[in-house]
Amino acid sequence: MALDVQKLADALVLGALLDELRHRYGGYELLAHWKQGEFHHDVLVRLPDSTVLVVATNCNGGVKEVLAFDRAPDRWALWHWRCPHVSDFAGELPAILERAITPHWFDPCNLLAEDARSELREEYRERQQGGGWQMADRPGTCGAPRKA
């Protein structure tokens, strides 16, 4: 099955890219959705021929990068490839069959810094493994159970 990930990436938004997968390949299987910080999402989909795509998006669904693999990568191996200097990330990444980036792309390591931008108030956020901010899982934060 011929794969042109740049053409997929050029859809620029996740919804349009998924529509293109349905049109080209008849569908896909959603394998995972990983968030790293507030502004980065990795969506893993398997195509009918078993090719696995990692579609990296921003928080608005803007496609930043598309990677193709012959099998699903480990989350932390993927981040180790992106940011090898971060000690929380490790693992071997399968060979990248194809890669495409878009104008939305920027170095994802910038999202991991201690002073990384956040839209969450300091008292309501916590660091994720490897960096980036997420909603704190403690009483008083949105979605967390409150103390009685």
**The pLDDT of residue 148 is above 60:** no
- For residue 106, which amino acid is it? F
| pLDDT given at position 55 | 98
The answer to whether the beta carbons of residues 40 and 131 sit under 8 Å apart is no
Euclidean distance between CA atoms 105 and 87, whole angstroms: 23
User: Tokens 């990444």 — which residue?
Assistant: 93
| pLDDT given at position 126 | 81
84-135, pLDDT tens digit by residue?
999 999 999 999 999 999 999 988 888 887 777 777 788 887 877 777 778 8
**The pLDDT of residue 141 is above 60:** no
Strand partners, 99: 67
| pLDDT given at position 51 | 97
**73 or 115, greater pLDDT:** 73
Query: Domain residue spans in the chain?
Result: 5-106
Contact residues for 148 (Cβ-Cβ < 8 A; gap 6+): none
Can you list the alpha helix ranges (DSSP code H) found in 26-144? 75-82
As a whole number, the mean pLDDT across the chain is: 89
Instruction: Extract the tokens encoding 113.
Output: 């810094």
Count of beta carbons in the 10 Å neighbourhood of residue 88:
14
